[in-house]
Amino acid sequence: MITGIRCFACERGHDPHALPTVCTACGMPLRVDYDLGAIRLRRGDGTGHRSGLWRYRAVLPLLEGDEITLGEGDTPLLEVDRNTWVKDESRNPTGSFKARGMAVAVSMARRLGARALSAPSAGNAAGALAAYGARAGLPVTVAMPEDTPRAFIDECRHFGATVHTVQGTISDAGKFLREHGPTGAFDVSTLREPYRIEGKKTMAYELVEQMAGDVPDVVLYPTGGGTGLIGMWKAFAEMAALGWIAAGRMPRFVSVQAAGCAPVVRGLETGAQRTDAWPDPVTRAYGLRVPAPLGGFLCLRALRESKGTALAVAEDEIARATGALAARSGIDVCPEGGAAWAALATLRESGFVKASDRVVVFNTGTGLKYR
Ligand SMILES: Cc1ncc(COP(=O)(O)O)c(C=O)c1O
Ligand SMILES: [Zn+2]
């Protein structure tokens, strides 16, 4: 029950029956709105009927039968310490949380008439797009930085996608596709269409169900383009409107970035409304190497509104924490998840996280593809 598609920045309405991109007035990302007062979706509804994120269909844009699925969602929430859990997104198809966003975005793109798909990526989004495109029967073209580990590239080719490697970062890969990509392919880049957020927001719905209706005090999220953070921020507001949680209840969100690419951290520190492009971004946590996120202003809004914070983690500390969490927990930790784990230790020391706080750290993907 969508009531409309509106711009996150200027609120201009857009046609929900056309393939939406960014705001036609200001170029900023679009948001999908629902008539939440009329939606009857109770916590625990659909458990046992449907698996994964599709049990939140009432707050997704899809009609019955339109879904392109590989069994995404339903990832475990694993206790790793007292009052501390890891939401292990490595268990999704193609090994990352990107599957959630692509499942919904590819389903909607096909329903709305897309004939081909493309996206720039740091690695995981490309693999997910290639898989869901294959499932939908739509040709996929992706572009990634040339130093992206081999496994990400091989995975896309395995799913039949056309892969371009580009000198520079994900920004350069996006530019390459806009200039040289296949004509007519629908661009499912981060926040350049509104539906990946809708898929990603289901992480927060799952979290609240797994915590039996409770809301964690702190959520640490490795932030690159920001879709996961923005999606969950949206989801907590929706859950309040649905009556799942008290109005205004939300975890304190923590954006974790790499010291070599931390535009959101800098934006928060300087009190800015928008993030500035990060010059010469460097990190082996490739998903965090996003120098100029289109949704940077929304990340800042989510962090401020939730009374959260943002933290940059040094490269050697990311590597150390990734190994340490994997070795103590058995979870297949990726560097981005390791960064979030490292940030938690710092925030405990600073007192931002107290021993009584219930904390959730996101491991956004598998560590296997980085070797
Ligand atoms: C493993 C991993 N973690 C985190 C991110 C950052 O994602 P988001 O766009 O939600 O900030 C990415 C993006 O590529 C990723 O691959
Ligand atoms: Zn606008």
Evaluate: CB of 228 within 6 angstroms of ligand 1: yes
Can you tell me the distance from the alpha carbon of 90 to that of 363, in angstroms, rounded to the nearest whole number? Answer: 7
Domains 77-96+200-370 and 99-187 share a fold: yes
How far away, in angstroms, is 228 Cα from ligand 1 center? 7
Can you tell me the distance from the alpha carbon of 18 to that of 13, in angstroms, rounded to the nearest whole number? Answer: 12
Give the pair of three-digit tokens for residue 346: 């710092």
Residue nearest to ligand 1 atom 13, measured at CA: 287
For the CA of 223, the nearest atom of ligand 1: 11
Banded model confidence at residue 50, pLDDT cuts 50, 70, 90? low
> What burial letters (b/e) apply to 108-117, b meaning 16+ CB within 10 Å?
bbbbbebebb
The 10s digit of each residue's pLDDT in 102-151 is: 999 999 999 999 999 999 999 999 999 999 999 999 999 999 999 999 99
Give the pair of three-digit tokens for residue 56: 């939140």
Please give all residues whose CB falls under 5 A of ion ligand 2, grouped by chain where several chains appear. 7, 9-10, 12, 23, 25-26, 28
Domain boundaries, the chain: 2-59, 77-96+200-370, 99-187
287: three-class secondary structure by DSSP? helix
Residue nearest to ligand 1 atom 7, measured at CA: 224
Residue nearest to ligand 1 atom 6, measured at CA: 224
Banded model confidence at residue 44, pLDDT cuts 50, 70, 90? confident
Can you tell me the distance from the alpha carbon of 229 to that of 253, in angstroms, rounded to the nearest whole number? Answer: 8
Confirm or reject CATH 3.40.50.300 for domain 77-96+200-370, answering yes or no: no
In terms of Cβ atoms closer than 10 Å to its own Cβ (0-12, 13-18, 19+), residue 49 is exposed
* Residue from 170, 202, 256, 288 whose mutation best tests the ligand 1 pocket (most atoms within 8 A of CB): 288
Q: What are phi and psi of 130, to 5 degrees?
A: -60, -45
The CATH number of 99-187 is: 3.40.50.1100
Write down the pLDDT at residue 48.
57
